[in-house]
């Protein structure tokens, strides 16, 4: 059961009142990176991307590392290149009258898009949608920003 949104804590803490992480994001990243020995490299790139996201907000898509998913316009993707070509899906929300971003899930984009393949966008989108519903059930005033 989801208890609370997490601060960004991968590799090192990142304090933000704008960007939060679903509690399972750390597990996603650990699963991808655990045997790579590239956690520090990933952490440096990840931190830069989070700073861009926090500063640019929805305009982050002007950077080539970010994109808005065309078929799911409320979902965005953050790309961290390297050993695993990691994608992190996120969305913008309103919570207690304030806009926030929640990083929903991470996956290594490597394979063709099928719902049963955990390394595909289709699978990751389905997981992100499940996590959005989970968050809404915990935070009654959480609203997905779709525009």
* 91-98 LR contacts (CB < 8 Å, sep 24+): 91/128, 91/132, 91/144, 91/145, 92/57, 92/58, 92/144, 92/145, 93/135, 93/142, 93/143, 93/144, 93/145, 94/142, 94/143, 94/145, 95/139, 95/141, 95/142, 95/143, 96/141
Predicted local confidence at residue 4, as pLDDT: 62
Answer whether 39's CB lies under 8 Å from 106's CB. no
Predicted local confidence at residue 134, as pLDDT: 94
Domain boundaries, the chain: 19-144
Q: What is the pLDDT of residues 20-34, one digit of tens each?
A: 999 899 889 888 887
Instruction: Give the Cα separation of 142 and 31 in Å (integer).
Output: 28
Q: What is the pLDDT of residues 43-100, one digit of tens each?
A: 888 888 999 999 999 999 999 999 999 888 899 999 988 767 889 999 999 999 999 9
Predicted local confidence at residue 35, as pLDDT: 64
Predicted local confidence at residue 1, as pLDDT: 39
């Amino acid at each position: 059961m989801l208890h609370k949104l997490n601060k960004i804590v991968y590799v090192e803490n990142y304090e933000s009142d704008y960007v939060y992480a679903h509690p399972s994001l750390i597990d996603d990243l650990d699963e991808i990176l655990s045997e790579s020995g590239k956690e520090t490299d990933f952490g440096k790139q990840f931190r830069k991307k989070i700073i861009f996201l926090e500063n640019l907000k929805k305009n982050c898509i002007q950077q080539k590392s970010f994109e808005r998913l065309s078929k799911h316009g409320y979902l965005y993707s953050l790309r961290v290149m390297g050993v695993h070509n990691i994608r992190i899906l996120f969305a913008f929300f309103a919570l207690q009258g304030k806009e926030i971003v929640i990083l929903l899930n991470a996956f290594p984009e490597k394979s063709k898009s099928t719902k049963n393949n955990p390394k595909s966008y289709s699978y990751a989108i389905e997981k992100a949608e499940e996590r959005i519903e989970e968050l809404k059930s915990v935070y009654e005033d959480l609203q997905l920003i779709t525009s």
